[in-house]
Chain A
Amino acid sequence: MDSKTLSTWERIKDSDIYHSFIKSPTAIVSSTILFIIFFCSFFVELITPYNPFDPSSLSLMDAFTPPSWTEDGLAKFILGTDGQGRDMLSTILYGCRISLIVGFSAIIFSLILGVGLGLTAGFFGGKYEMIVMRLTDVQLTVPSILMALLVDGIARGLISREMHDEMAIYVLIFAIGISEWPQFARVSRAATLVEKNKDYVSASTIIGVSNIIIMFKHILPNILRPVLVIGTIGLALAILAESTLSFLGVGVPPTTPSLGTLIRLGNDFLFSGEWWITFFPAIFLVILAFSINLLGDWMRDTLNPKLKK
């Protein structure tokens, strides 16, 4: 053991995770793709020349322009335009931003809810644990997309009609979030059960540390690895759920389309020859979800020493 203290960056560079990352082409490729997608989506105003949400910039004359490499394509619309003359590439990137915001918010919501319930259930045990875990069991019997539809339906019934479009995105986040939390609750409860029987927790109890501090200062940081892994894979699921809901017409409104909305809108033109309107958003969604899943897989293999070869 050398005596000098390492800085945070040196510590990261020295860690096994960093080296495993460097050695895994899958992880590098998928995280690069994700980085490009995230960057383009969040700085979309700086990158794209068109703002699809600004009606004054649109011209119906440009509607249904095919991609630039086809016969009728125009160089200024690389991936063509949709029925309202919106540039597909810009629309996809704007839509992707909405999808990502909904996906991230939903997964953070369900992570906080699920980990909070799972951690307390595992720690306190007894009747409280039984109630929480049976609740997750019940919820796992309902398909999550059905759950989300149900929540969405109820929310729409409660919110006045004028507010629908405005509130749609929050309803969507809540609906997806509430349908994903059982996974987090299960994983964090199982991890908590392991951790709470370790001696360091006993040591803190003997010192006299309160339960709340033991839970959040000692146990929580130690159960975050598995939670992080299912969180990443859950992110892909949440984005897909958002797209599915939007495709079914209960998601974000068409005026601020997400990827799912774009696919639905394009779906109407699929058989009349304008394939690109639905094809590009769909392929984009596939790449996004696939990259997140690959990254999640790599994380699971790296963070779980039992799977190491």
Chain B
Amino acid sequence: MTFLKINNLSVDYQMRKETVYAAKNVNIDVNKGEILGLVGESGSGKSTVGNAIINLIDEPGKVSSGSVILGDLNIHENSESIVKYRGNKIGLIFQDPQTSLNPILTVGEQLIETIQTHLKLSKEEAKNKSINLLKEVGIKDAETRFDNYPHQFSGGMRQRVVISLALCCEPELLIADEPTTALDVSIQSQILELIKKLTKERNLAVILITHDMGVIAETADRVAVMKSGNLVEIGETKKILTNPQENYTKSLVSSVPPTNKKISRFVIVEKENSDKKENNIKILNRWTKKEIKDQDLVQIKNLSKSFDDNFFTESSKNSVMAVNDVSFDIKEGESFGLVGESGSGKSTIAKMIVNLFKPTSGDIFFDNVCITKIKQRFELMKFRKQIQMIFQDPYSSLNGRLKVKDIIAEPITLHNPSISNIDLNNYIYDLLESVELTQKSAVRYPHEFSGGQRQRISIARALATQPRLLVCDEPTSALDVSIQAQILNLLKDLQEQLNLTILFISHDLPVVRQMCDRIGVLKDGKLCEVSNTEDLFLKPSHEYTKELLRLMPKIESIYN
């Protein structure tokens, strides 16, 4: 039975230069007791549809046409009816559990407040109802936790509280906007299980908005694929994922890194820079190619780093061990993966290798020289040149006040001050073309580029000094999955052609499987195990690795 019916919904944003359609003629039905996955890349309008249902579109956007029918009522008829339904018949779960709870009220107060706003219950009844709800979403000791403040809950627990808030007025429709994106894998699977369980028990209609195909595969009954405001395809999850009809869906599915096997390259159906066919790496003839010797390029020995969070007492009591006695080696020419959840210390290790942080104890050897003990600047510069880094956030890693050519020229002129202007320009063009950008990009500013293109500029800058080791700190986690596939392909090509050694840091196991030869698993600053990629995925030895592998959302689960 169709419970929610979205008819021809369009949402416009009236901008200065043009009207942007965030959603255009979208038709979606949701039944009771099913989870509809709404999937798409950033800017595809998936959140807009979610917000339009409850009429929470930010200015200057507005619903320009269409209707939303819940049960047999048109809830967009007038603004009053929406206010009545919002929170009452429709519950909402947002992405970030840190900000969707009020930090100065206890969890109980927030629950009671919401319940009493919508239902006519006494305070005592509301309290009983809240405690039952907290129990239902799996919070232990609900009676005592009732009086706790949000900061006393962990991220996953807080998301459970948010879910209980969404459920407290017996809604029939639940809209979950990226409910697990801010959470670690192990907590993600718990939250998704909870949502699945509640959908069955309470016979809810659920719209699950996400960009993660793995999440969709594991939870959604049906899936709707969106692209730039249009609904591309809608249907049974299994059918869409295994036999997509539309080109866009095909490219989306093929871009998702498979979790069960290693592939050599991602198949790109629709490309960002469609005019480029094959990547010819033009900087190759400038590159003084290092022969790959069978030796360790990087050796990390008993590395530890603690952060003192107290300025006055430098005692070790207050310090947090971000990295605790970690040792591993990276062979020349290989890709080494470092995997771990947030706070496991993987970025800290990266920053110590590139010499942004000094380790508290332990040594890092690069090409058999201990780089942590270098004092002289000119000595250090030799290594700066050979170790470069690519950052996670493509928006903050480029200085917005400089043109692209100045950004790329900086490392070149610094390490080779005598380079002539013509030579410099040619080198910049070669670098840009090697990362599949046009020469025209050189005179533009970073804000004129998309996230994926910015990441390419970042890679060009990192390659400018002809490094031997490239440290990639979550280089694709801020990008959409199809862009991710292109960037990963590019990194693979570059590595093959230029004999680069790559340290690849990620929380995303499928991505690491595609990229790396060997993998180290980190937890709370300690290294759990290091082994060859295929060994790690097929027969993990450490308990934590097994746990991670079991919990990661698998797109292949749809075949079973």
Contact = CB atoms under 8 A, between A and B. Distances in A.
Interface of A: 1, 3, 5, 16, 19, 198-200, 202-209, 218, 221-222, 309
Interface string B404-420: 00000011001100000
Chain B interface residue number, banded: 35 or more
Interface in B469-521: none
Interface string B270-291: 0000000000000000000000
Contacts of B385: 208
A14 to B, nearest CB: 9
Contact of B397 (A19, A200, A209): A200
B399 interface: yes
A5 B440 CA distance: 9
Contact of B461 (A203, A208, A222): A203
Contacts of B354: 206
A186 to B, nearest CB: 19
B325 interface: no
Interface stretch (B167-175, B202-210, B386-394, B537-545): B386-394
Contact of A222 (B356, B381, B393, B400): B400
Interface in B351-409: 351, 354-356, 380-381, 384-385, 387-389, 391-393, 396-402
Contacts of B462: 203
B414 A309 contact: no
B387 A209 contact: no
A5 B443 contact: yes
Contacts of A221: 399, 401
A200 B396 contact: yes
B414 A203 contact: no
A203 B59 CA distance: 37
B314 interface: no
B16 interface: yes
Given A3-B440, A5-B443, A206-B355, A199 B391 contact: yes
A98 to B, nearest CB: 36
Contact of B380 (A1, A200, A202, A208): A208
The interface residues of chain A, by DSSP majority, are classed as helix
B44 interface: no
B415 A203 contact: no
16 contacts: A1-B448, A1-B449, A5-B440, A199-B392, A199-B397, A200-B399, A202-B391, A203-B389, A203-B398, A203-B458, A203-B462, A206-B387, A207-B388, A208-B384, A221-B401, A222-B399
Given A207-B465, A208-B381, A209-B414, A200 B398 contact: yes
Contacts of B389: 202-203, 206
A206 B388 contact: yes
Nearest to B384: A208
Most chain B CB atoms below 10 A, which of A16, A200, A202, A209: A200
A199 B411 contact: no
A205 B443 CA distance: 24
Interface string B518-553: 000000000000000000000000000000000000
10 closest A-B pairs by beta carbon, nearest first, are A199-B397, A208-B384, A199-B391, A221-B401, A207-B411, A198-B396, A200-B399, A199-B396, A206-B354, A208-B381
B384 A207 contact: yes
Contacts of B393: 199
A209 B380 CA distance: 12
A206 B384 contact: yes
